[in-house]
Structure 1
């Protein structure tokens, strides 16, 4: 989806590797790590009796420099996610060409404040962390103002807190259906599904983590079964990360968000 019409077109950096260059392929390279992650996804899908093509890989680029992002793109990545608005803005020039060509999707996967909506709309093709109707209405108003409707509408997911942890954002599962139905009816927004952050495997048993993912799937299925306006496109389940992607895929994930397994330990901000 193209960037916001009122924003200026970012310029590509004069230095650094081109996204068209072949990726480095050494054992510690981004390309090599990506191959391992893709194998994990394929194996998990196969074990669940699913087609690996049903699961997309979102590469989370939090704290990564533009050069590392370009290495991932050169290795075939077509979906990336940013947690912080300032990083989304800083990396926009490096990915501008691919965005303009429709060869890349960029999702905002961190909390969004209302005063930063314009910055996100200038680059992001999707927002996975919608958790209130007030925020949805504000984004809808901006999209309508800028003519970002119809085929140019912003893809959005409702974030659901399936663990009940206060440290995690998201609407409660019991309230997610009503929010999603309201969001789906807003102009300028296209409801594509639901997102969650699962319980940490280090502190929870596998069955607890899986139960959270299964709850998100149930939320999606309930919303789609309602046949409410705009809910027919709500097919996505963005859940599962480096440590628990296999469990998420077993419970129906259509997008897994992976950063550490692709780039290694994050550098200190």
Structure 2
């Protein structure tokens, strides 16, 4: 535990505005980082925009959000026009954080700046081929993370932990791709205890550290750990998260469908 004084966390406001909710989330991130003896600036907030309208997304951007993530390709494409100017200016990054099917690769490449859910070499090669075909190499390469299934649950995507280092090494050599780190969806705190949740996050950190220590070509940039969401961002930050993906705490409970 850090000896630094704990920052106060803003209390939720009854107005339910996105800006107010964001202030609360940022307060949680700061408090968790300080409690872990980390610099809060080491942790980025990715706002998950699943089922949200373009208007809600723009409200978040107006409150200073510079990284958003989308779970579904169709929603990613539908919201792209609303944020295109900010992406073009370099003021906003857009990550695909849901499972990607090969037949949707072109749509993702046209709208996303990063992909956090790479979980097979076949998919990586297909994306690499499209990037090379489109001239998206060098500084324009697509930033990708390897998704790891640290819980072993069949309902969750991701490569098995025992194969993650090998996959990352192979991905890092592919043209058009820049390996930036690793992503996971942790065990639900509602279903298990915090020690189990933290153990999963710690395993992802160990995988990241092993890849960095390997010195394999193209792996020196694989520093990111995208882990932790609304319900478990504190244990994720304690175990080294550099990106936390938060949607519900920013926008409120999700609706079943968005009017796009």
Shift of 1:79: 0.1
Shift of 1:27: 3.2
Q: Does structure 1 residue 83 correspond to structure 2 residue 71?
A: yes
Q: Does structure 1 residue 225 correspond to structure 2 residue 219?
A: no
Match of 1:61 among 49, 72, 91: 49
Equivalences for residues 30-49 of structure 1 within 5 A: 30-49=18-37
Using structure 2 for the length normalisation, give the TM-score.
Answer: 0.93
Equivalences for residues 86-125 of structure 1 within 5 A: 86-125=74-113
Q: Does structure 1 residue 128 correspond to structure 2 residue 116?
A: yes
Match of 2:132 among 144, 151, 164: 144
Q: Distance in 2 between matches of 1:117 and 1:164?
A: 26
Unaligned runs of at least 5 residues, structure 2:
1-12
Match of 1:268 among 244, 256, 260: 256
Match of 2:4 in 1: none
CA contact (8 A) 1:26 1:32 kept: no
Q: Distance in 2 between matches of 1:172 and 1:105?
A: 28
Q: Deviations over 1:135-172 (max 9, x none)?
A: 00000000000000000000000000000000000001
Match of 1:254 in 2: 242
User: SS of 2:220's equivalent?
Assistant: helix
Q: Distance in 2 between matches of 1:144 and 1:268?
A: 38
Q: Distance in 1 between matches of 2:253 and 2:191?
A: 20
Q: Distance in 1 between matches of 2:196 and 2:240?
A: 16
Q: Distance in 1 between matches of 2:120 and 2:161?
A: 13
Using structure 1 for the length normalisation, give the TM-score.
Answer: 0.90
User: SS of 2:111's equivalent?
Assistant: coil
* Runs of at least 4 residues off by over 2 Å: none
User: SS of 2:180's equivalent?
Assistant: strand
Q: What is the aligned length?
A: 245
Shift of 1:26: 7.5
Q: Distance in 2 between matches of 1:146 and 1:124?
A: 14
CA contact (8 A) 1:37 1:262 kept: yes
